[in-house]
Amino acid sequence: MTVLGTASAPQAASSPSGGRVRLRLIGEFELRAERVLSVSPSAQRLLAYLALAGRPVQRSVVAGTLATVDVTEAQAAARLRTALWRLPRPGGTPLVDAAGKRIGLAPAVRVDYRETETAVAAGGGELPALAEDLLPDWDDDWVVLERERYRQSRLHALEQLCARHREAGDFDLALSAGLTAVGGEPLRESAHRQVVLTHLAEGNPAEALRQYDGFRRLLRAELGLPPSAAIRSLVAGLLGRPVDATGPPR
């Protein structure tokens, strides 16, 4: 889930002051050392871009990508130098390694997105991190692409989390994960199936039918489609009759 290539998460490191620098990109942008740090908009975009790239990037590429209007190469380079100059240095810790022709995020910076990405790839991940999108209010092309990749990954992770908790008998945690996935994409049938299965496993057939019927109505209203046979089969036995004839809606 990287913009410019696959890279491992930055290693945690301590600043000279003993604090850790954490960059938050999930839900909102936040840079924190021992406290939340003030970061200029241009410096925010620089840090976010380097964090999503996951590796050092040529200066010219960074400057051109972050230039918000048509400018010359010299102007773009000057803006990049300004953004670098405006970066905070908590406890004297540099946030960006800009010594050569390539610049990258310093190893001292821990990125929540990278940590969550690593956990999801390993089959893990916690509900709070999986409940929010990547920089949801940003509309830069390089953010939009990565946000959609992360959205798909986190929805799959939420469904897997729901199934794991259900198999362990932790039905409240299973429902929280499943309903979070439904909230992330209400038309996603696989998420609704996980919720229906959890209600059935907990012995709540009425709740399962309610979840199914809500999805059926939404799917028909939004797309004019019936639910698939896979989800209909989960509740067909409860009704004792064919479920959801595929004729036109009334």
Angle at CA of residue 136, ends 161 and 143, nearest 5°: 100
pLDDT given for residue 68 in this prediction: 72
pLDDT given for residue 135 in this prediction: 96
Mean pLDDT of 183-209: 96
pLDDT given for residue 143 in this prediction: 96
**Domains defined for the chain, CATH in brackets:** 21-114 (1.10.10.10), 157-239 (1.25.40.10)
Summarize the chain as % helix, strand, coil (round to 5).
55, 10, 35
C-alpha 206, offset from chain centre: 32
pLDDT exceeds cutoff 60 at 153: yes
pLDDT given for residue 126 in this prediction: 79
Tell me, what amino acid is at 148?
E
The rounded percent of the chain whose pLDDT value lies above 90 is: 74
Tens digits of per-residue pLDDT, 16-38?
Answer: 434 489 999 999 999 999 899 99
Give the residue, 37 or 13, on which the prediction is more confident.
37
Question: pTM of whole model > 0.85?
Answer: no
Choose among 55, 46, 45, 59: nearest CA to 98. Answer: 59
pLDDT given for residue 125 in this prediction: 76
pLDDT exceeds cutoff 60 at 244: no
pLDDT given for residue 250 in this prediction: 46
Mean pLDDT of 222-245: 82
Choose among 211, 186, 187: nearest CA to 198. Answer: 211
Cα 162 from Cα 131, distance rounded (Å) = 13
pLDDT exceeds cutoff 90 at 241: no
Query: What rounded mean pLDDT belongs to the chain?
Result: 87
pLDDT given for residue 246 in this prediction: 53
pLDDT exceeds cutoff 60 at 12: no
Cα 202 from Cα 199, distance rounded (Å) = 5
Work out the pLDDT band at 136, boundaries 50, 70, 90: very high
Work out the pLDDT band at 245, boundaries 50, 70, 90: low
Tens digits of per-residue pLDDT, 73-127?
Answer: 899 999 999 999 999 999 898 999 998 899 999 999 999 999 998 888 877 777 8
pLDDT given for residue 2 in this prediction: 37
Cα 147 from Cα 152, distance rounded (Å) = 9
Choose among 131, 143, 130, 107: nearest CA to 29. Answer: 143
Tens digits of per-residue pLDDT, 32-71?
Answer: 998 999 999 999 999 999 999 999 999 999 999 998 777 8
Hey, which bits of 96-236 come out as E strands? Answer: 96-97, 102-105, 109-111
